[in-house]
Amino acid sequence: MFGRWMDREGIAQMDIEQRAKLGRATISRLCNDFDYTPKYETITKVKKALKEVGKSVPDDYFGT
């Protein structure tokens, strides 16, 4: 789950929220809702934000 991974990596939800310019609800769902499938645009923004903090996830991490 993305939220657990972020916790292990020491990344705050608020940091990704601000860098990706996404709403708090979107980041919360991404981190906590197993059934949530984000839009491609959302995934792209999150991956870019992660890159800014020196982290990355595999291309298929979000199940798309």
3-state SS of 26-44 is HHHHHHHCCCCCCCHHHHH
| pLDDT tier at 61, thresholds 50, 70, 90 | confident
- Per-residue pLDDT, averaged over 5-15, amounts to 94
Is the pLDDT reported for residue 55 higher than 70? yes
Residue 48 belongs to what domain range?
A: 2-52
Residue 46 counted as domain residue: yes
Number of domains within the chain: 1
Torsion of CA 19, 21, 24, 25, to 10 degrees: -130
Using CA of residue 25, residue 28, residue 34, residue 39, what is the dihedral sign?
A: positive
| pLDDT tier at 60, thresholds 50, 70, 90 | confident
For the chain, the residue count is 64
Question: What's the pTM value of the predicted model, to 2 decimals?
Answer: 0.88
For residues 54 and 62, which has the higher predicted lDDT (pLDDT)? Answer: 54
Is the pLDDT reported for residue 64 higher than 70? no
